[in-house]
Structure 1
Amino acid sequence: MLKSFRFLFVLFPVLAVAVLVVSLPRSVDGPGTSAAREPPALPDKLSPAEQDLSEQIAALGEGFDGEAGLAFRDNQTGRIIHYQGDALYPQQSVSKLWVAMAALAQASAGELDLQDSVTIRRADLTVFYQPIRSIVRQQGSYTTDYADLLSRALTRSDNTANDVLLRRVGGPEAVQAWLNGAGLGAIRFGTDERTKQSAIAGLEWSQAFSYGGKFFDARDRVPDARRRAAFEGYLSAPMDGASPVLMAVALGRLAEGNLLDTVSTELLLSTLEETRSGPKRLKGGLPDGWTIAHKTGTGQYFGGEQSGYNDVGILTAPDGRTYTVVAMIRRTSAPNGQRMELMQELVRAVGRYHEVAKAPAAGA
């Protein structure tokens, strides 16, 4: 048995997850339910395809220079294979998924009209990547609708678009309440980008940080000891922490239509297929004819290390079978190319698994 695999149970509020491989039952409840599920049983043994995939995933994780959690879910069987996937990892912009889902759930309930008009002004701008800022700078404001903000937040990872949509759905508490109600309460949403990124840097948010390099200038003035304490504190207990295993469960339920209604599910998946960020992360390993609906997340640097470098997604094979893949890196100093290669190789391993798993059994 590989040294990194421990057979134990990690208890989440609504399900028990067995480390290495577990078969999680598909939800038979409606979208957004928090009904409890029976703890799954450990399989008696792995199939040859699962055994091969588990060894490949272990080799990828152990060979990487950093703290990586990798998870895979076969959405046909519900079986999960993972490496170090039961701990909390920083989500960073992966958490934009939950804002979008909460918004879509409210839209389905008639509590939010995604076509409602909204105006973005200087006071709404946040920090780091926010393409909307260029429009606001040129025009003084930008009037659009919430559907546009949702698309920008997911496909372009626009922090301002996400934070304005977040305020409309009721703030961090409302998003966490949606996660809790969906049976995903062990996922921590965290807070808005302004508050989160400032805290990681040992700062308190000032609206002046939203323009130019003022955030970076202020961060450079933070004493190293305070910056280190904030950085390490975030990594040890990320306010937006999620385990790769539960992330795989959540995306698997999304793919199966058990988180949102049919219209919202189709809209979200089609939007995630248009994601522009991270073209060389998971997407870079796609076999010919496959598609991916995914969301990336990238954290801050300090002392030569990055806090959070992620990509999570749903792979669809040419025959329509779907698989969930999750790659979350808590911290690393490895070059970007090595991080991307880790993610690409994970996808390639899934492609090889698919070719074996889809083949009919001998004598069938």
Structure 2
Amino acid sequence: MGISVRDIDEGWVAAWEGDIPRPQQSVSKLWVAIGVMDAVDRQRLSLTDPVTVTRADLTVFHQPIRTLVGKTGYKTTIADLLHGAMARSDNTASDVLLWRIGGPAIINRLLGDKGIGGVRFGPGERQLQARTAGLEWRPEWAGGWGFLQARAAMTSEARNKALRRYLAAPLDGASANGVTLGLSLLAQGKLLSPQSTASLLTLMRSSKTGPLRLKSGLRPGWTLAHKTGTGQDLGNLSTGYNDVGLLVAPDGHRYALAVMIASTRQPIPVRMRLMGNVTRAVIASTSR
């Protein structure tokens, strides 16, 4: 587990094992969103640009957009895909946006150019999930069922070996301190234009995922703009259970938080309580 709390306005950082890379999973959607808004700022695309999502674009696991994609595809916009990726953590929406702006190499270059150290973007949702399970993605798996069948056919030993390999060197590894650095730069307006920054933070505040993670520790007047991540399970071992976000006090004071659980056998309520306790600790410290 890694924890990082960064006071954006005063500059201090408090962390627990904050510099060790851990799986991001859907926290990575934050960097895709920043990449999209950066392209908007540079007038390389518009939020109103039309996009047709086809069945070949479908990924794995959580993808609410799947029910909308018929034989002729689903016509939507960059803005709607961005909302799906950030507010609903839709894997397909995020991957379509990722490839629309040029793929993982573009995101990693953006992270470097913006000075966000300690964060590495992975190969995209399909390859990430396949390799985590010890497989190589096949185009015919689009939609997820083929992948799930192939994974189910693996031996427990093979899956365990692949998962351990992923945890030892995650393809999408990021440190908690690296994530809070990125969040801090975002909040300070150093990554995007004021309009794009405001739009992205509004999306993050509207997130429907993880209401009992960091958000469970909120108090009246405090707000959280956040992004969760949840990785694959094997037996009772869960991986990549994360929540990161921008916590804002009633007086406007800002903190960047990241709780990244690489692996655990603790039940979900224990994990959520831990995350809520980090938020509660920050809030309690302001009243001393």
Are 1:316 and 2:248 matched, yes or no?
Answer: yes
Task: Give the superposition deviation at 1:185.
Answer: 4.4
* Match of residue 143 from structure 1: 75
Report the equivalent of 2:62. 129
The structure 1 segments of at least 4 consecutive aligned residues displaced by more than 4 Å after TM superposition are none
For the pair 1:194 / 2:131, whether they are aligned, the reply is no
- Taking the aligned partners of 2:140 and 2:60, their CA distance within structure 1 comes to 10
Choose from 14, 33, 40 the match for 1:107.
40
User: What is the CA-CA distance between 1:121 and the residue it aligns to?
Assistant: 1.2
SS in 2 for 1:355: coil
Q: How many residue pairs end up in the alignment?
A: 288
Q: CA deviation at 1:173?
A: 0.5
Question: What amino acid is the match of 1:151?
Answer: H
Contact 1:203 1:222 in 2 (8 A): no
1:1-364 to 2 correspondences below 5 Å: 68-137=1-70, 140-211=72-143, 213-356=145-288
The superposition leaves residues 140-166 of structure 1 with CA deviations (integer Å, 9 ceiling, x where unpaired) of: 521011111111101100000000000
**SS of residue matched to 2:69:** helix
Give the distance between the partners of 2:146 and 2:217, measured in 1 at CA.
37
Structure 1 residue matching 2:209: 3-state secondary structure: coil
Distance 1:159 1:80 in 2: 31
TM-superposed CA distance for 1:212, in Å, is: 6.3
SS in 1 for 2:3: strand
Given that 2:243 and 2:258 are in contact with CA atoms closer than 8 Å, whether structure 1 keeps it comes out as yes
| Structure 2: distance between partners of 1:212 and 1:186 | 31
Report the Cα distance in structure 2 between the residues aligned to 1:178 and 1:255, rounded to whole angstroms: 17
Q: Verify the 8 A CA contact 1:315 1:325 in the aligned structure 2.
A: yes
Deviation at 1:112, TM superposition (A): 1.4
- Residue type of the partner of 1:273? R
SS at match of 1:299: coil
Aligned twin of 1:362: none
Q: Counterpart in 2 of 1:59?
A: none
Aligned equivalents of 2:145 and 2:75: distance in 1? 25
- How far apart, CA to CA, are the structure 1 residues paired with 2:145 and 2:14? 42
Note closer, same or farther for the CA distance 1:182–1:212 as it changes in structure 2 (3 Å cut).
Answer: closer
- Contact 2:121 2:171 survives alignment (8 Å): yes
TM-superposed CA distance for 1:204, in Å, is 1.6
Residue 212 to residue 166, structure 1, CA distance change in 2 (3 Å): closer
Give the aligned residue type for 1:328. Answer: M
> Is the 1:176–1:185 Cα contact (8 Å) retained in structure 2?
no
Residue pair 2:214, 2:276 contacting (<8 A) in 1 also: yes
Moved more, 68-77 or 87-96: 68-77
How many Å separate the matches in 1 of 2:195 and 2:65? 27
- The structure, 1 or 2, with the larger RCO (C-alpha pairs under 8 Å, 6+ apart) is 2
Distance between the aligned counterparts of 1:252 and 1:295, measured in 2? 14
Deviation at 1:229, TM superposition (A): 2.0
Instruction: State percent identity of aligned pairs.
Output: 47
Q: Whole-Å Cα distance in 2 between the matches of residues 317 and 212 of structure 1?
A: 41
The structure with the largest alpha-carbon Rg is 1
Superposition deviation, residue 283 in structure 1 = 0.7
- In the TM superposition, what whole-angstrom CA distance separates every residue of 1:41-81 from its partner, at most 9, and x where no partner exists? xxxxxxxxxxxxxxxxxxxxxxxxxxx11110111211000
For the residues of structure 2 that align with 1:319 and 1:290, how far apart are their CA atoms? Answer: 9
Does structure 1 conserve the Cα–Cα contact (< 8 Å) formed by 2:240 and 2:262? Answer: yes
For normalisation by structure 1, the TM-score amounts to 0.77
